[in-house]
Structure 1
Amino acid sequence: MNILYLHGLHSKLSQPKRKLLEQYGKVFAPDTAYENKHIQPVEILKQYRDTHFNVVIGSSMGALNAFIISENIGRPALIFNPPLKKYRHVNFKAQHVKGLHTKQIFLGGNDDIVDPADTLEFLGGYKASDLSITIDQKNGHRIPLDIFREQLAIFFSGICY
């Protein structure tokens, strides 16, 4: 299984999280500079022209891009604290229908960077084939390793029957 992981703004994929991801497949985690251009799905995918991704995972700004990529390549996504409402002008709708586009979304209820209420408002008007949303009222914007591990297990058990 090929996993595309997209980090957040001013962030990188940590080694402990990479090790967790590697339990599920081969991990591709591009170093993306979101500072000047927040939305980069085309640029990200161009780096992997010959790679077929089975799933897309992202956090924060990476989650925004993962959401768009998931819709456009028709693959499931696990996304953490995506700033979707701020970018509602973007066309999130699928360009291709190649398969399952399950979205598992984790929101920190105590997030002071991406307001979870804004994300819920955006998702309230969004039509998706399968959308699962978890809100952890104690969690903020950063995703602790134990929550990351738990969300990965739920996500992969749901798509790997």
Structure 2
Amino acid sequence: MKILYIHGLNGSLIPEKREVLERYGTVRAPSIDYENNPDSITWLHNQYKKANIDIVMGSSMGGFAGYHLSKLLQLPALVFNPALAERSVVQNVPHTPETNKGHIHMVLGSKDPVVNPKATLQFLGELLMQEQDYRISIRHDLEHRIPLDVFEEEVVKFMGSL
């Protein structure tokens, strides 16, 4: 299995989380400069559309990119605190299909001070007529950063749902 992990703004995939993902397959985790590349989703699509990726994952800004990329690539996705409703840097969203024909598992921290979970739910509420299958996990123990134990628990749950 090939996993594409998309980091958040000024972030990266830490080794401990990479180890969790490598239990399931090969991990690709490109470095993305969101501040200087407003077309990061299109760039990711062009880089990985022929790479036989099986799953898209991401957190925060990477969750935003992963959400849209999963629809472009028609792949299931696991996104943590995706910056869907608002972002601190400008990003262009290419035209994407309404659904990825699979599911998007979304993990939201109810205490997140960076990505407002209520705004994310309102964003999704506007899309209710689309036939995208969402699985939403609202974690009351979670802020913006994803602790390793929560990351592992949610990855296990997601992989078990495939």
TM-score by shorter chain over 0.5:
yes
CA contact (8 A) 2:44 2:69 kept: no
Question: What is aligned with 2:126?
Answer: 125
**CA displacement at 1:3 relative to structure 2:** 0.5
Question: What is aligned with 2:2?
Answer: 2
**Structure 1: stretches of 5+ with no match in the other structure:** none
**CA displacement at 1:40 relative to structure 2:** 1.1
CA distance in 2, matches of 1:14, 1:129: 30
Question: What is aligned with 2:152?
Answer: 149
In structure 2, do the counterparts of structure 1 residues 77 and 128 end up closer, same or farther at CA, with 3 Å as the change threshold?
farther
Identity %: 38
The amino acid that maps onto 1:14 is: I
Aligned to 2:120, what secondary structure does the other structure show?
helix
CA distance in 2, matches of 1:90, 1:8: 16
Deviates more, 1:127-136 or 1:2-11: 127-136
**CA displacement at 1:102 relative to structure 2:** 0.6
TM-score between both structures, scaled by the size of structure 2: 0.88
Count of matched residue pairs: 157
Structure 1 segments of 4+ aligned residues over 4 angstroms from their partners: none
TM-score between both structures, scaled by the size of structure 1: 0.89
CA contact (8 A) 2:42 2:94 kept: no
Equivalent positions of 1:31-46 (< 5 A) are 31-46=31-46
Question: What is aligned with 1:76?
Answer: 76
CA RMSD of aligned residues (A): 2.1
Question: What is aligned with 2:61?
Answer: 61
